[in-house]
């Protein structure tokens, strides 16, 4: 019997079969075109990961509104002009018997005016600190909220038209849906703010509407940051556990927990003998995917042992395109960063992506 991460998994009561439990985490890579259409380099690097055995390929955060873009060269899904590229992507991923999940996102406060031509908006008015700059962020109007909900639903519709297997709503890492969940960036007094249920309403409304337009085999996942990290504040760990229950009641297909370290205990309970994953596992039964410093077979096995159903590899997926295939050998030891530029080129990264990775301390050899 092969190791648990290589075991298949089914979602949606058996309607979706995935050949293993190893996913490529969503990774912004700057390799698409200025108008958001799929770039050859983005196609190439993702295709290589499907070829390398990842059962699930999650796209980079793809903006659902033109004004929701956060990074140059980001893949877009806000217009029908994007559908052809996504069809090509889906076809290439399916050729290797993997599934394609599009990560849908809007940057909110973190969509800079130089990219979008508009000053950013969020749940509430606030000052967003980007490095040494402070950016004034407007409070979204009812119209903005209705519009962005439609944008998420239309983006999911495009993913369906393109033949993708599902979508993942990016409600983590300080972007718009996360800004609504946070008590720091959401101080609204109306139905979109206040209680956790209200702060989650934009997310739950989007899920409802996507469920209404999609077939029963279309996967809907949600990615969350379960606790504060870096400069983004306002998420309470216990609230996140309640959010998981809310999402389970809404019958999402998987919950993706972004911990940045799958082995960690919650910041709120540093003396606990339980990891973040174990807390979530005790709280809900929905399939859980976890990401964060999974490099070795042992890391993957531990995460699954503690209650995750799938693991998502970020940096390991960048440096080792065929991690799942190599991990068929129980003696596999990953080659860890720093990587040389030629190693990364061989791993299917363009110069643009390599330059981007130079910002991640210790990833690329100086």
Q: Which residues bind ligand FMN (CB under 6 A)?
A: 25-28, 60-61, 103, 170, 172-173, 223, 258, 260, 291-294, 313-316, 360
Taking the complex as a whole, how short is the minimal distance between the CB of residue 71 and ligand FMN, in angstroms?
8
Taking the complex as a whole, how short is the minimal distance between the CB of residue 23 and ligand FMN, in angstroms?
10
Pair of tokens at residue 315 = 């940096």
Spatial neighbors of 318 by CB under 8 A, at least 6 apart, are 27, 344, 347, 349, 357, 363
Place of tokens 């279309």: 218
Taking the complex as a whole, how short is the minimal distance between the CB of residue 27 and ligand FMN, in angstroms?
4
Taking the complex as a whole, how short is the minimal distance between the CB of residue 360 and ligand FMN, in angstroms?
5
Radius of gyration of the chain (CA): 19
Q: What count of other Cβ atoms lies within 10 Å of the Cβ of residue 360?
A: 13
Name which of 26, 55, 97, 1 is nearest 324 in CA terms.
Answer: 55
Total residues belonging to the chain: 366
Name which of 145, 152, 70, 149 is nearest 103 in CA terms.
Answer: 152
The CA distance from 78 to 33, in Å, is: 14
CA 288 to chain CA centroid, nearest Å: 13
Annotated catalytic, 175? yes
Listed in sequence order, the DSSP H helices in 95-141 are: 113-116
In the set 5, 105, 128, 175, the catalytic residue is 175
Taking the complex as a whole, how short is the minimal distance between the CB of residue 120 and ligand FMN, in angstroms?
18
CA distances from 149 to 218, 261, 306 (A): 19, 31, 35
Spatial neighbors of 72 by CB under 8 A, at least 6 apart, are 30, 34, 115
Residues taking part in catalysis = 175
């Amino acid at each position: 019997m092969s190791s648990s991460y290589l075991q298949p998994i089914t979602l949606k009561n058996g309607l979706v079969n995935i050949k293993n439990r190893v996913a490529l985490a969503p990774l912004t890579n700057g390799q698409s075109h200025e108008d958001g259409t799929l770039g050859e380099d983005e196609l190439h690097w993702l295709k290589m990961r499907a070829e390398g055995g990842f059962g699930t390929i999650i796209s980079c955060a793809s903006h659902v509104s033109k004004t929701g873009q956060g990074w140059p060269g980001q893949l877009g899904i806000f217009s029908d002009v994007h559908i052809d590229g996504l069809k090509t992507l889906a076809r290439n991923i399916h050729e290797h018997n993997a599934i394609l999940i599009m990560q849908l996102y809007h940057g909110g406060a973190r969509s800079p005016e130089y990219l979008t031509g508009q000053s950013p908006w969020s749940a509430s008015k606030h000052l967003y600190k980007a490095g040494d700059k402070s950016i004034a962020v407007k409070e979204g109007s009812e119209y903005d909220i209705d519009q962005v909900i439609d944008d998420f639903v239309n983006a999911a519709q495009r993913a369906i038209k393109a033949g993708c297997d599902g979508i993942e709503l990016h409600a983590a890492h300080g972007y718009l849906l996360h800004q609504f969940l946070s008590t720091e960036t959401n101080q609204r007094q109306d139905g979109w703010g206040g209680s956790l249920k209200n702060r989650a309403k934009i997310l739950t409304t989007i899920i409802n509407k996507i469920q209404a337009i999609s077939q029963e085999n279309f996967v809907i996942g949600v990615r969350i940051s379960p606790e504060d990290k870096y400069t983004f504040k306002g998420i309470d760990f216990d609230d996140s556990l309640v959010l998981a229950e809310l999402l389970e009641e809404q019958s999402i297909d998987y919950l993706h927990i972004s911990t940045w370290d799958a082995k960690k205990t919650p910041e709120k309970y540093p003396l606990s003998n339980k990891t973040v994953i174990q807390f979530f596992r005790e709280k809900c039964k929905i399939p859980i995917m976890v990401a964060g410093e999974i490099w070795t077979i042992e890391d993957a096995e531990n995460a699954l042992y503690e209650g995750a159903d799938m693991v998502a590899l970020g940096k390991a997926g960048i440096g080792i395109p065929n991690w799942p295939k190599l991990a068929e050998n129980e003696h596999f030891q990953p080659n860890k960063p720093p990587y040389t530029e030629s190693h990364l080129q061989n791993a299917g990264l363009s110069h643009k992506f390599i330059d981007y990775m130079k910002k991640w301390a210790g990833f690329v050899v100086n």
